[in-house]
């Protein structure tokens, strides 16, 4: 459990040079959690320190402050990545971010062929060139799979950002097709389910810029807390996967998780949890994320091996847990489809 001086020394070992005054400033601005107090022993006074989890948070804060230069932007990025940040401060930062970002991204997207999709493709190339994507499992994924996921995520970015030309029908088809292929499910049933959920929560009415700002302004502490729990779960899943198969260096693992959450997954998950909680509380979205989190963090390095053809395979224990998780989730969603609110 590092003191401020010890944290500064740990950061230096990781290649990050931040002095004690900066760490104090970040703590006062809410980028780092409050210091905890512990007795140093009889007659030795009180020691002030952080928990060990602060190391990843300060790595993330350093990257965000270097990239944005804004404490508000960094606060939002940290909250979206599941770090300990006051919800009220994150909400305020979120509103200010939304007021600035749409104009900036419209200008950036205009410089790319394909607009927002082109902007996303450029960001994706930068991300996948990072050290964390040198991991074996990523290199061994079939090219068709990588292309399909990248195209879907690019379509998602275009749908989220392009207020002028948002195509709900085409995007719903993208979602349905991806679920059908990767879940090996009945295409007709999946299309019907996606259309019904879409009609229930009407995301198009809230993902446009003005309604999005109004949504964030209206959030309660309870809604912010519920969304943040899901953000923590997803970030921990990503981090654990990188620890198992990614680079040995801690900083790239933290930064890749941060980039994925800050630039894409965080806002998408937070909005989905909040919107479903308001419009369709019977949908077990938070429970699904929690169940997947429990499954993923239970995987150990000894559970992963390679087949003779070089592909990754998981232990029988993990495969068994996956089957149990799928059964559990199927029961949750079946219950929700019958109109029964889940706990």
Q: Strand, helix or coil at 304?
A: strand
Cα(152)–Cα(220) distance, integer angstroms: 31
Residue 34, domain member (yes or no): no
Per-residue b or e along 279-313, where b marks 16 or more CB atoms closer than 10 Å to that residue's CB: ebeebbbbbbbebbbebbeebeeebbeeeeeeeee
Residue 232, domain member (yes or no): yes
**What value does the mean pLDDT take over residues 59-81?**
93
Is pLDDT above 80 for 203?
no
Total structural domains within the chain: 1
> What was the pLDDT predicted at 343?
46
Cα(249)–Cα(276) distance, integer angstroms: 37
Is pLDDT above 90 for 151?
no
**What value does the mean pLDDT take over residues 257-285?**
87
Residue 128, domain member (yes or no): yes
Cα(272)–Cα(270) distance, integer angstroms: 6
Asked if residue 260 lies in contact with residue 239, where contact means CB atoms within 8 angstroms, the answer is: no
Strands (DSSP E) contained in the chain are: 36-39, 46-49, 304-306, 312-314
Confidence of residue 218 (pLDDT cuts 50, 70, 90): very high
pTM of the complete model:
0.77
More confident residue, 308 or 39: 308
Terminal CA-CA length for the chain: 36
Q: Which of 242, 234, 256 is nearest to 129 (CA)?
A: 256
**What value does the mean pLDDT take over residues 212-222?**
91
Q: How does pLDDT run across 2-33, given as a tens digit for each residue?
A: 888 999 999 999 999 999 999 999 999 999 99
Residue 148, domain member (yes or no): yes
> What was the pLDDT predicted at 229?
97
**Residue 106, token pair as written in the block:** 């419209």
> What was the pLDDT predicted at 341?
45
Give the per-residue SS3 of 39-89. ECCCCCCEEEECCCCHHHHHHHHHHHHHHHCCHHHHHHHHHHCCCCCCHHH
> What was the pLDDT predicted at 342?
45
107-116, 129-138, 306-315: which range is least confident on average? 129-138
Range of the domain at 116: 53-337
Confidence of residue 293 (pLDDT cuts 50, 70, 90): very high
Residue 37, domain member (yes or no): no
Q: Which of 235, 294, 280, 243 is nearest to 259 (CA)?
A: 235
More confident residue, 212 or 299: 299
**What value does the mean pLDDT take over residues 215-237?**
95
Signed CA dihedral, 202, 285, 153, 267: sign only: positive
Signed CA dihedral, 286, 291, 294, 299: sign only: negative
More confident residue, 197 or 102: 197
Q: Strand, helix or coil at 302?
A: helix
**What value does the mean pLDDT take over residues 300-317?**
81
Q: How does pLDDT run across 71-109, given as a tens digit for each residue?
A: 988 999 999 999 999 999 999 999 988 887 766 666 666
Q: How does pLDDT run across 254-268, given as a tens digit for each residue?
A: 998 998 898 778 988
Is pLDDT above 90 for 119?
no
Residue 271, domain member (yes or no): yes
Residue 288, domain member (yes or no): yes
Asked if residue 106 lies in contact with residue 165, where contact means CB atoms within 8 angstroms, the answer is: no
Cα(235)–Cα(242) distance, integer angstroms: 11
Residue 43, domain member (yes or no): no
Mean pLDDT (the chain) is: 82
């Amino acid at each position: 459990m590092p003191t401020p001086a010890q944290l500064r020394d740990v950061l230096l070992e990781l290649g990050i040079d931040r002095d004690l005054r900066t760490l104090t400033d970040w703590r006062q601005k809410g980028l780092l959690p409050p210091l905890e107090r512990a007795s140093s022993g009889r007659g030795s006074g009180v020691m002030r320190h952080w928990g060990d989890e602060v190391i990843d948070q300060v790595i993330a804060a350093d990257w965000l402050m270097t990239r944005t230069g804004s404490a508000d932007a960094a606060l939002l990025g940290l909250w979206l990545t599941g770090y300990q940040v006051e919800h009220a401060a994150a909400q305020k930062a979120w509103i200010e971010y939304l007021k600035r970002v749409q104009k900036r991204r419209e200008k950036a997207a205009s410089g790319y062929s394909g607009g927002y999709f082109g902007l996303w493709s450029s960001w994706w190339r930068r991300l996948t060139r990072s050290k964390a994507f040198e991991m074996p499992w990523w290199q061994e994924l079939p090219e068709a799979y990588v292309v399909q996921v990248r195209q879907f995520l690019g379509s998602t970015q275009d749908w989220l950002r392009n207020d002028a030309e948002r195509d709900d029908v085409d995007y719903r088809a993208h979602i349905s097709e991806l679920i059908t292929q990767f879940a090996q499910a009945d295409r007709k049933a999946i299309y019907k389910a996606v259309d019904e959920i879409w009609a229930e929560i009407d995301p198009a009415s809230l993902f446009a810029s003005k309604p999005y700002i109004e949504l964030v302004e209206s959030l309660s502490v309870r809604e912010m807390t519920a969304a943040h729990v899901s953000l923590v779960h997803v970030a921990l899943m990503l981090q654990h996967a990188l620890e198992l198969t990614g680079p040995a260096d801690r900083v790239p693992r933290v930064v890749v998780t941060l980039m994925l959450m800050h630039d894409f997954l965080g806002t998408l998950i937070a909005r989905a949890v909040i919107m479903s909680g308001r419009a369709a509380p019977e949908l077990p979205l938070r429970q699904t994320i929690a169940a997947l989190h429990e499954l993923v963090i239970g995987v150990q390095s000894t559970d992963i091996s390679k087949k003779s053809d070089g592909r990754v395979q998981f232990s029988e224990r993990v495969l068994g847990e996956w089957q149990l998780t799928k059964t559990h989730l199927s029961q949750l969603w079946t219950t929700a489809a019958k109109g029964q609110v889940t706990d």
